[in-house]
Amino acid sequence: VDLGGVESSGTIVVANKPERVEDDRATLARILKTRRASPMEARKLRGRLQYACSQTFGRSGAFAARLLRDLASGSGGERSLNRDEVIAIKWWYDYLAAAKPRRVHLSPSRPPVLLLTDGAVEDYSSIGGVIIDPVCGLIEYFGERVPAAVEQSWGRGCGHEQVIGQAEIAPLVVSAILWTEVIRERQLIAVVDNDSAKDAAIRGYSPSLPSAFLVAALWRAVAAANATPWFDRVPGPSNLA
C-alpha cells in the first residue's frame, strides 16, 4: 500500500510487490512447461495467487481459482494437469504481468456512470447496451447480432442450446471494453435484467465455463479501467437496453 499520494492527490495505491509477482510467474511458467503439479503445490500457489489478485481487483481471478480447486483439494503426488487447470495457470501467468495497481480515491467522487445492458436468444443471439454519464451528458448505445462462431464457443449447436446466460453477460464485457475511457477511474452502476448474469458478475465466477470466461474478461476490463462497479438487476420493462 502506497500512501504517498494521499496528501497531494487524495489517492491510495494498492499493488503487489514486483519481486512477489516475478516469483509467482516463475512458478507458473515452470508448471506450464511441464504441465504437472502436485495438490500441495496447487494449494500453496492458489493461496498466493488469490492474495496477489486481491491487491488489484479480487474478482478478476475468481474463475481461475475455481478451476484449480479440484487439484488443490486432492491428495497424493504430482500429476498431469487437465485442460481446465492449464487454462487457469495460463490465465494467472498472463494476468499477473498485465494487472495494474489499484488506485483508491479518497476525494469527493463524481456521480456514477450508469450502464444498462441486455441480451436475447431466439433464432440467433443479440446483445445491446446503453451508457449514461451525468457529468458530461454523454448518452451512447450499441446493438449487435452475436456471430455464429461466438455462439458456438458458448456451446450452442453442440448439445447446449440454452445460451441466454452468456448472451446476458457478453454485453457487459463489450461495454467495459467499448467504453473504457468513459468508466475509467469512475464509479459504475451496471444494470442487467437477468439474475444469473448479475450473480456471476458479482461473484466473478459462474459454474458454466463459457460464462466463467466472459466474467473473467469483464473483471479484467474493469480492472484495466480502475472502475468501481456495482451490479444490480431491474425488471425487463425498466431496462433501456
SS (H, E, C) 179-191: CHHHHCCCEEEEE
Decide: pTM greater than 0.85.
no
Q: Which three cell numbers stand for residue 26?
A: 516463475
226: left (phi > 0), else alpha (psi -120 to 50), else beta?
left
So what's the pLDDT on residue 74? 82
So what's the pLDDT on residue 7? 56
What is d(CA 161, CA 49) in angstroms, rounded to the nearest whole number? 35
How sure is the predictor about 66, in pLDDT bands with cuts at 50, 70 and 90? confident
So what's the pLDDT on residue 158? 59
DSSP H helical segments within the chain, as ranges? 6-9, 18-34, 39-54, 62-67, 69-72, 83-98, 148-154, 164-178, 180-183, 195-203, 209-225
With a cut of 80, say whether residue 54 has pLDDT above it.
no
With a cut of 90, say whether residue 183 has pLDDT above it.
yes
> Of all helices (H) and strands (E), which one includes residue 21?
helix 18-34
For residue range 98-121, list pLDDT tens digits in order: 777 777 777 767 899 999 999 999
Q: Burial code of 89-100, b = ≥16 C-beta within 10 A, e = fewer?
A: bebbbebbeebe
163 or 162, greater pLDDT: 163
